[in-house]
Amino acid sequence: MKYQFIKAAAASPQGKIADPAYNAKKIIEIVEKQAEKGTELLVFPELSLSGYTCGELFLQKTLLDGCLSALEAVAKATDGKKMLVYVGLPVMHGGKLYNCAAAVGNGKVLGFIPKRFLPNFGEYYEKRYFAPAPEGDSAVMLGETVVPFCRDLLVRDVSEPDLMIGCEICEDLWTGESPSVRHAKQGAAVIVNLSASNEVVGKREYRHKLLATQSRKNICAYIYANAGEWESTSDMIFSGNDLIYESDTLLGEARPFEGGLVEAEIDVGYLLHERMRNTSFEPVPHDENHILSCRFLTDGEPSLRKVDPTPFIPHDAGERREQAELILELQSHALARRLSHTGAKTAVIGVSGGLDSTLALLVICRAFDLLNQSRGDVVAISMPGFGTTLKTKNNANSLMQALGVTVRTVNISQTVLRHFKDIGHDPDDLNATYENAQARYRTMILMDVANETGGLVVGTGDLSELALGWCTYNGDHMSMYAVNSSIPKTLVRHLVEAEAARLGGRAEVVLKSILSTEISPELLPPDEKGNIAQKTEDLIGPYELHDFYLYHFIRRGDPPAKTLYLAGRAFEGKYDRATLKKWLVNFYKRFFAQQFKRNCVPDGVKVGAVSLSPRADWRMSSDASAALWIEEAENL
C-alpha cells in the first residue's frame, strides 16, 4: 500500500448455475490474473460460488457441500499471494441456511459474514431459503479448522492496523440500518458489497446515487460487485454492473453487460484524513474478537489512478462553465450582502490590469447589478507606479470604461519618491522597501477614497497568494472585504474567461488581452523594451504547481513524499522531478513562514473546499515549524 493507496477490483465471472467447481475455476482464473496486476482487494458477487438463481437447489446438501469444497479451492489459490478475496456462497450453520460472504486470504478461509437483511418482494424470495444473520459470535467447522461466523467481522492487514475492510451483502445496503454504517464507525475505511441486483430501467442510476451517498456519509470507499448475465433469465436479468467509489467520487465502473470487471486504486490516506477532520464522524469502539488478520497489502506503486494536475478546475467544458457561474454568483451575492449590511454607498477597488483585480471588479459589477445600484457608484482607481507597463495600464482603463464604472487615475510615482526621501531610502535600491512602499500607498489611497465616498474597499488578493504570503503586509494584503480570498490563481483565469464569454463585445476583447498578460505585481521597473520584467512565477514558482501542492496539503492531508509522487504523475513530461521537488520545498517554507499574514486577513466568502480563513477553515500558529515537512521533502 505505497503512498496509502490500495489496489482493488470487483469482478463478475461467467459461471454456471449450481456448478460450484466450475465457478471456483473461473474465480481462480481472475484471482491469478489480478495477482499479476498487484491487486490487493478483490470482490466477487453474492452467492458467486453457487449462483444467485439456484432456487430450491439451495436446500440441497449436495450443492452446499460442493460450495464448501469450491471455497477451499479458492482459498488454496490465494496461498502465497498478497490478496484479500471475498466470495459468496450458501452456508449451513446451526440448523439454518445463510447467505454468506467468505473472506479469503493467505491460503485460508478467514471468516464468514452472513447477510443481515433478506428481500422478500418482487423477483426476490430469499426468505424462502435463508435465515437473516443472527446476533452474536459463533464459528463454522471447515474440516479441522474453526472459522469465525459473525455479521460484524472486519479484516485488516497486520502492517496497517488503521486500514480495515468491512463487508455487507446486497440488500444490506438498501436498508435504513445498513451494516456498513456500523462497520465504518468501527474503523472500516473500505466497504465491500457482494451483490445480485437485477437490471431494470433506472436501477443503474439509482445504484450510483446510493453508493455515492453511502460512501460520502460514511467517509469510506465502497466496492460493489454485482452478479453477471450468466444468472437465470427466467424472470429477470443481471448485468455485472460493478462499481468502485471513494467517498462520493466514482473511481471506476463496469457498465451493464460490458465485461463485469472494474479496477481502481483507493486513496485510503485521504479517507483517514477526512475522518480526522470531520467532527461529525463519530467512531465507536470495535471488538478485537471481530477483527481478522491477513497480509494482503503490497509495496507496489499506484499505476491506474489518474492524477488531476488542476484539482480546482473541472475538465468537462460544460461543468466548468456551470461551476464558474456558481462561483461568480457566490462571490457577488456575498459582496452584495456586505454592501447592503454596511450601508456602503460605493465600492472602491484598485484596478491594475492583472487577473485578480479584474475578477474582483467583475464581481463588484455583478453585485451592484443585484442591488439595482448604478455602476457609477463603483469607484475603480488605476494607480500606475514604477513598474506599470503601458499594456496593463491601457487594459485597466479599457476594462473600467467597458464596464461603465467611475474611473480615477492616481499616479503614485512622485509621492512614493517623496516618501523615500522622508525615510532616507535610496530609490536606486530596488529592495523590499522599494516594492512594498508602492503597495502600501495604493492601499492608503483606496481606504481614503472609501472614507471620502462612504464606501467599502474590495480586496483583490487570491487564495494562492495567501498560501504563499505573496502580498504586502498591510498593503494589498488588506481590504474591507476580500472577494477572491478562496479562489486559487489557476481558477481565477477560468472565472475571467467565463465572464468574458458571458459579457461579449468590448469587455470580452479587453478581458482576453488581460488573460494573455504575464502575472506580475509590477513593482519593479519594466525592461528596456517597456515589457514586464518582474514575473511572479519566475520568483516563487508556477502557480499550477503551488495550487496542486496546496490542494493536496490542505484538502487531502498528503505528506511530502506522496505529494511529490502524485505531482510527478500529474505533470509527467512538463516538469522534471528536480523542479517539482524545488518548488515543493519552497511551498512548505513559504506556507509556514507566512501564516502571520493569514491570521489577520479580512472577511471573504468561501466558495470551495479549500479556504485559509483563520476564523473557520485554517487555524495555525504563526510560530509553527515547517521542519518536519521540509526535511522529508528535501530528502526525497
List active site positions.
Answer: 46, 115, 170
Q: Are 338 and 330 in contact (CB under 8 A)?
A: no
Look up residue 323 and give its three cell numbers.
Answer: 461551476
Look up residue 563 and give its three cell numbers.
Answer: 505529494
Interstrand relation of 5-11 and 261-267 (parallel, antiparallel or unpaired): antiparallel
Residue 426, classified by CB atoms within 10 Å of its CB into exposed (0-12), middle (13-18) or buried (19+), is exposed
Q: What SS3 state is found at 244?
A: strand
**Distance of CA 478 to CAs 58, 475, 592, Å?**
73, 6, 20
Q: Are 506 and 404 in contact (CB under 8 A)?
A: no
What does the alpha-carbon distance between residue 473 and residue 36 come to, in Å, rounded to a whole number?
Answer: 56
What does the alpha-carbon distance between residue 135 and residue 464 come to, in Å, rounded to a whole number?
Answer: 53
Q: Are 269 and 247 in contact (CB under 8 A)?
A: no
Cα torsion through 433, 439, 440, 446, rounded to 10: 170
Quote the crossing angle between the two packed helices 577-593 and 543-550, to the nearest 10°.
60
User: What is the number of H-type helices and E-type strands within the chain?
Assistant: 20, 20
What does the alpha-carbon distance between residue 509 and residue 445 come to, in Å, rounded to a whole number?
Answer: 29
Quote the crossing angle between the two packed helices 355-370 and 489-503, to the nearest 10°.
50
What does the alpha-carbon distance between residue 110 and residue 124 come to, in Å, rounded to a whole number?
Answer: 29
Q: Are 238 and 228 in contact (CB under 8 A)?
A: yes
Going by C-alpha positions, the residue among 428, 429, 461, 425 that lies closest to residue 443 is 461
Look up residue 446 and give its three cell numbers.
Answer: 483606496
What does the alpha-carbon distance between residue 264 and residue 582 come to, in Å, rounded to a whole number?
Answer: 31
Q: Phi first, then psi: what are they for 100, rounded to 5°?
A: -120, 155
Look up residue 131 and give its three cell numbers.
Answer: 435465515
DSSP letter assigned to residue 383: -
Q: What angle do CA 552, 474, 324 make, to 5 degrees?
A: 45
What does the alpha-carbon distance between residue 455 and residue 40 come to, in Å, rounded to a whole number?
Answer: 61
What does the alpha-carbon distance between residue 359 and residue 351 come to, in Å, rounded to a whole number?
Answer: 10
